[in-house]
Amino acid sequence: MISNAITLMIAVPLIGAVLCFAAKSQARIVALIASLVPLFISLQMYTGFDKTSKLMQFVESYNWVPSLGVKYTVGVDGIGMPLVLLSTIVSVLVVIYSWGEHDRANQFFALLLLNEVGVLGVFTSLDFFLFYIFWEIVLIPMFFLIGNWGGPRKSYAAIKFFIYTHIASLIMLLAIFGLYFTYRMPDGSRTFDMLTLIQATSDKVLFPPALINLIFAGLLFGFLVKMPAFPFHTWLPDAHVEAPTAGSVLLAALLLKMGGYGIFRVILPMLPNVDKMFVTVIAIIAVLSIVYGAFLALAQKDLKKMVAYSSVSHMGFVTLGAVAFTWLSIQGAMFQQFSHGLITCVLFMSAGTIQHTVGTRIIADLGGLADRMPKFAVLMLAGFMASLGLPGMSGFVAEFTVLAGSYATLPFYTLIVIFFSVAITAAYHLWSMQKVMFGPILPKFLDVHDAHTYEIASMTAFILLIILFGVQPALITDIMGTAAYQVMEPVKTLAQMGVI
């Protein structure tokens, strides 16, 4: 087992990014190597991971700013491990997918790597100070990806994305201060250690209801915006529509997951200690995100925008499963994070490939592409099927688990979701699929060629993973199951919290 695995995993892409800037022409190769190394490390970690332990693993901790109680502490548990795995996988495949990027390639790939650094940092850091730093660092590469390689309204989208999410993180930061200044270690010193602080919130004397609710709301806001959940989702469509394909993929597959991660890592353990009203609020937000997002997707004319809204809808399942707070639902929500991370990649890659092979993403202008791009059509179809929750693919497992788990505690909301989202989701996927791929090929597309090999390769890899985890979810749900127990340790169910 590698020592300092996590630090290494974060450091390698960072160095890789610098090298990429230097390596003018060979940047993509550097990038590939620099993203493969973390993948191997994370696989190593996965194999070495003790699936039954609720403790942090691979922990590294060094003093950083003693006078503020800031430590460099990293480690993974059942909550972080799957996402680390996801991040490394996605990063590699995205690099492969963008193999054909020649416009300032060195900067492009460097930014991809920087993004990986930030995301991995968020998923592994156990110190709020460190956590926040990575949380913010992630914005920068994405800002440049959108702003530099983006579409016509890239400036607007990039700035909106940056400012909107930055406000959210700052409010989160204030909430973190609330925790930090209220709690003192037994020896009187202060700490930014996440686990300690979160645990401390159960102290009713130290954290009177008014205070803890305020703090909780702040943190929640920070995470919900990243998720993104209704009504804080409006930065997402703009960012996605303008971003380059690789950017959208990373955005949807990894950045959104940061919000979910925050929910599991911070929000859920605090949930028992805060006002019960929050559960209702979050549940409503979740349901709205799912249903409203699905309807929005149905209304879109732009394929990519449709996919973007579909992520809003799917991430709603994460929120729902999380707040339902049963062992099964939490597990499902975690798995939804993982599976959506894989599926959405295929979706955005499809939209991207269509964009730069055909030249438009407007669904109405497309038609009969399957005729000219059969391989691609199969992959896209597979991706869409996965996204509409076809069994045998990871999406179904996740959503079924969430629903089955949530019904126990939030029957009403679950019913709404089942009734209004499942069919609608199928509707917009199939409708766009039929319009874009099937039917007679439009004359203007007669000379369209099939997608590039590297695009096909990376999409195929994703599909295979989706099927793998759809058929054998236990590979990852075992870990999540333990994590779910660990999250629920303070209190077992909402009923015991007096919510229902």
- Indicate whether 422 belongs to the interface with other proteins (CB under 8 A): yes
As a whole number of angstroms, the distance between CA 226 and CA 114 comes to: 18
Please confirm whether the linkage preceding 231 is cis (ω < 30° from 0).
yes
Contact 181, 190 (CB under 8 A): yes
Longest dimension (CA), the chain: 76
- Indicate whether 220 belongs to the interface with other proteins (CB under 8 A): no
- State CA 348 to chain mean position distance: 14
The CB-of-267 to other proteins minimum distance in angstroms stands at: 20
Q: Which stretch binds other proteins (CB under 8 A): 5-13, 120-128, 150-158, 266-274?
A: 150-158
Q: What are residue 76's DSSP bridge partners? A: 57
As a whole number of angstroms, the distance between CA 291 and CA 229 comes to: 11
**Helix, strand, coil abundance in the chain, percent, nearest 5:** 75, 5, 20
Q: How many CB atoms lie within 10 A of CB 268?
A: 21
CA-wise closest residue to 478 among 53, 45, 48, 43: 53
User: Out of 133, 195, 284, 416, which residue is the one contacting other proteins (CB under 8 A)?
Assistant: 133
Nearer to other proteins, 148 or 199 (CB): 148
Binding mask 72-111 for other proteins (x = CB under 8 A): ----------------------------------------
Residue 289, CA distances (Å) to 134, 216, 232, 261 in order: 27, 20, 10, 17
- Indicate whether 67 belongs to the interface with other proteins (CB under 8 A): yes
CA-wise closest residue to 322 among 364, 349, 282: 282
Interface positions, 359-418, toward other proteins (CB under 8 A)? 368, 370-371, 385, 390-392, 396-397, 400-401, 403-404, 407-408, 411, 414-415, 418
User: Out of 40, 75, 136, 485, which residue is the one contacting other proteins (CB under 8 A)?
Assistant: 136
Nearer to other proteins, 41 or 477 (CB): 477
Burial pattern 159-176, b for ≥16 Cβ within 10 A else e, equals ebbbebbeebbebbbebb
Nearer to other proteins, 56 or 114 (CB): 114
The CB-of-147 to other proteins minimum distance in angstroms stands at: 5
The CB-of-368 to other proteins minimum distance in angstroms stands at: 7
As a whole number of angstroms, the distance between CA 91 and CA 27 comes to: 15
Nearer to other proteins, 92 or 219 (CB): 219
- Indicate whether 477 belongs to the interface with other proteins (CB under 8 A): yes
Start-end of H helices in 256-326: 256-262, 268-270, 277-299, 303-324
User: Out of 364, 423, 464, 495, which residue is the one contacting other proteins (CB under 8 A)?
Assistant: 423
Contact 46, 89 (CB under 8 A): no
Interface positions, 433-452, toward other proteins (CB under 8 A)? 434, 437-441
The CB-of-362 to other proteins minimum distance in angstroms stands at: 15
Q: Which stretch binds other proteins (CB under 8 A): 43-51, 355-363, 424-432, 444-452?
A: 424-432
Eight-class DSSP state of 442: P
User: 47 is written with which tokens?
Assistant: 């194999």
Please confirm whether the linkage preceding 228 is cis (ω < 30° from 0).
yes
The CB-of-437 to other proteins minimum distance in angstroms stands at: 7
**CA angle in degrees (0–180, nearest 5) for 200-202-205:** 90
- Indicate whether 157 belongs to the interface with other proteins (CB under 8 A): no
Interface positions, 159-218, toward other proteins (CB under 8 A)? 159, 162-164, 166-167, 170-171, 173-174, 177-178, 180-181, 214
**Number of residues engaging other proteins in binding (CB under 8 A):** 84
Nearer to other proteins, 292 or 376 (CB): 292
What values do phi and psi take at 23, rounded to 5?
Answer: -70, 100
User: Out of 68, 277, 281, 495, which residue is the one contacting other proteins (CB under 8 A)?
Assistant: 68
Interface positions, 326-355, toward other proteins (CB under 8 A)? 328, 331
Interface positions, 25-64, toward other proteins (CB under 8 A)? 64
The CB-of-453 to other proteins minimum distance in angstroms stands at: 16
User: Out of 28, 71, 154, 314, which residue is the one contacting other proteins (CB under 8 A)?
Assistant: 154
Interface positions, 282-301, toward other proteins (CB under 8 A)? 292, 295-296, 298-300
Nearer to other proteins, 92 or 304 (CB): 304
Helix (H, G, I), strand (E, B) or coil at 65: strand
Helix (H, G, I), strand (E, B) or coil at 472: coil
